Amino acid sequence: MIIDAHTHTFPEKIARKTIAFLQNKAESVAYTEGTDCALQKSMEISGVDYSVLLPVVTNTAQVEKLNDIAIKKNEKYRETGLFSLGGMHPDYENYATELKRLRENGITGIKLHPAYQDTDIDDIRYLRIIDAACAENLAIVIHAGLDIGIMHHNFASVKHIENVIKEIAPEKFILAHMGGWKGWNEVEKELCGENVYFDTSFSLGEYEPPENVYVPKEKRQMMSGEQFKRIVEKHGYDKILFGSDSPWSEQKITIEKIKNCGLDEERTDLILGLNAQKIFGIKKS
């Protein structure tokens, strides 16, 4: 089973506008149109069985609306292949009640995006949310490290993450982008071996935009295959999740990069799906 633990889609009526805005902000390019249908086409081409949708909540008014959408999507995830987590915002006051509602409706995790929510991940507001999410046995996925479109401040640096681990010690704490985008040397030194998970999204190899699309070199270069394999071996194969960050990377290419890193079949299978299946409770169709 192949599970992409890190994807994004947008409602069809706003997808084109949203993708255009984010492409411009990040000096990047999307590989799909950013809709559910486009992701499903990518999954079919890539052999992905399930994609985990990570909603990014940018204001408190979106919390319940996006979570309602997530709950509805998950009613048919075995048919559609699209499995959604919930979302939360640090300024949302009724977080404990909302997290309980998510759990009672079958949602198994939440996404937090410190950069887009303009809040350090070790801020007390996040710590309260993470603690409450742990009480509901929810996984917590965070954007870790710098954001390609917000380079002026690292809201989820290794130091910030270490503070969360020290204060809360969450059991299902998933750090996107291999523990911290553009901070992989520090991740390798300080976070390997901690009780956290890394996903592979937008991290492995050089980012290769389509022809005629300019992306600055400092944003294209990511971790090498050698460093990826080293981190995986040091941190543990059972703590790495395949994630593409679709539409910002191609699922098929990310899978090929993982398969080409020289890991054996058993460990590759853990990374490509079995670890995510266990954490999120995804059932085979």
DSSP state letters, 185-205 = HHHHHHTTTSS-EEE-TTTBS
Identify the pLDDT of residue 26: 75
pTM: 0.94
Instruction: Look up residue 125 and give its amino acid.
Output: R
Q: Is residue 197 part of a domain?
A: yes
With CA atoms as reference, report the closest residue to 67 among 41, 50, 37, 92: 92
User: Is residue 38 assigned to a domain?
Assistant: yes
Which helix (DSSP H) or strand (DSSP E) does residue 4 occupy?
Answer: strand 3-7
Q: How far is CA 182 from CA 155, 179, 186, 213, 233, in A?
A: 13, 9, 9, 21, 20
Residue 242 is part of a domain; what is its CATH number?
A: 3.20.20.140
Residue 141's SS3 state is strand
Q: pLDDT for 257-282, tens place per residue?
A: 999 988 999 999 999 999 999 999 99
pLDDT of 215 reads 66
Is 201 within a domain?
A: yes
Tell me the C-alpha to C-alpha distance, in Å, between residue 1 and each of 70, 129, 168, 206.
22, 31, 32, 26
In the chain, alpha helices (H)? 12-26, 36-46, 63-74, 77-80, 95-104, 124-135, 158-167, 184-190, 217-220, 225-235, 251-259, 265-269, 275-280
The string of pLDDT tens digits covering residues 165-183 is 999 999 999 999 999 999 9
Q: Is residue 165 part of a domain?
A: yes
Longest Cα separation, the chain? 49
Query: Which pLDDT band holds residue 96 (cuts at 50, 70, 90)?
Result: very high
Does 184 fall in a domain? yes
17-36 per-position pLDDT tens digit: 998 888 887 777 888 999 99
Query: Can you give the pLDDT at residue 12?
Result: 86
The predicted-structure confidence for 99-158, as pLDDT tens digits, reads as follows: 999 999 999 999 999 999 999 999 999 999 999 999 999 999 999 999 988 989 999 999
Q: Give a yes or no: residue 222 inside a domain.
A: yes
What range defines the domain where residue 270 resides? 3-280
Q: Is residue 285 domain-resident?
A: no
Report the C-alpha gap between 116 and 142 in whole angstroms. Answer: 11
**196 inside domain:** yes
How many domains is the chain built from?
A: 1
Residue 167, φ and ψ in degrees, nearest 5: -80, -40
Residue pLDDT, tens place only, 197-253: 999 999 987 666 656 666 666 666 788 889 999 999 999 999 999 999 999 999 999
